[in-house]
A and B are shown apart, each in its own frame.
Chain A
Amino acid sequence: MKRLVVGAHYGLMDWLAQRVTAIFMAVYTLIMFAATLGGAASSREAWHALMANGFIRYLTFLFIISLCYHAWVGVRDIWMDYVQPAAIRVTLHVLTLFALVGYAGWAVQIIWRL
């Protein structure tokens, strides 16, 4: 049986995840833009208060997870398109995953201790 360690065989799930995360991030962006227009970035205190709000923190958490999943699919597609040798490609995939999982932890930690 032929086994592939890399390839474009993950199908509909990643395609759908790319869209769902995109829609969520677009809505989040509009919410944050509206908050900014309402003065949420007028001072450090106002910005802190916005990001410390429970509901906004919940949305920001989802945004961070969405961003990392979305970036994973997109960056993986770039490696799949331009990097042919499987060993280099799988290394790049792993490095991308490590980076994104680390960024997610870092960003969540920033908003979670507010």
Chain B
Amino acid sequence: MPPEIRKPRPKYLALHQIRLPLAGYASILHRVSGAGLFLMLPLLIWLLQLSLASSAESAAMFGAVTGNLLVKLILLGLLWAFLHHFCMGIRILLIDIQIGVEKQQAHASAVAVMVVSLILTLIFGLKLLGAY
């Protein structure tokens, strides 16, 4: 390749200038939500342990931990992370079997993933926060 048309490597991308389609953001959020769930696994397993232990102290501890506002907010975040990961996962599985591959359908399903996971987060989140 003549030097005048050789592109400079390595190429650094200006991330803040890149405009992704909505499906791109949904995809990145799939990764972010998965990473968040992984990082918070110890908390979730600990809560499972407290919820199932037979001692009265564990029951009281479970109530105290889940009653804490910071824990509630973390759980709310994890709730969204799980629901987004769940919905986006279904979208990925459908695309794997060639359903919704066309540009328009792929955009529509990305919108559906974002909207449905947020609505479900609202519904279950209000339950989590004790609204009903």
Contacts and interface: CB of A to CB of B under 8 A. Distances in A.
Contacts of A22: 89, 93
A26 interface: yes
A59 interface: no
B48 A103 contact: no
A26 B48 contact: no
B51 interface: yes
Contacts of B54: 48
Interface residues of B, number: 19
A29 B86 contact: yes
Interface stretch (B16-24, B35-43, B64-72, B98-106): B35-43
Interface string B85-111: 010011001001000000000000000
A78 B35 contact: yes
Contacts of B13: none
B51 A47 contact: yes
Contacts of B37: 71
A110 interface: yes
A48 B41 CA distance: 21
Contacts of B34: 71, 74-75
A102 to B, nearest CB: 9
> Closest 6 interchain pairs by CB?
A110-B49, A74-B34, A107-B45, A71-B38, A22-B89, A103-B41
Interface of B: 31, 34-35, 37-38, 41-42, 45, 48-49, 51-52, 54, 59, 86, 89-90, 93, 96
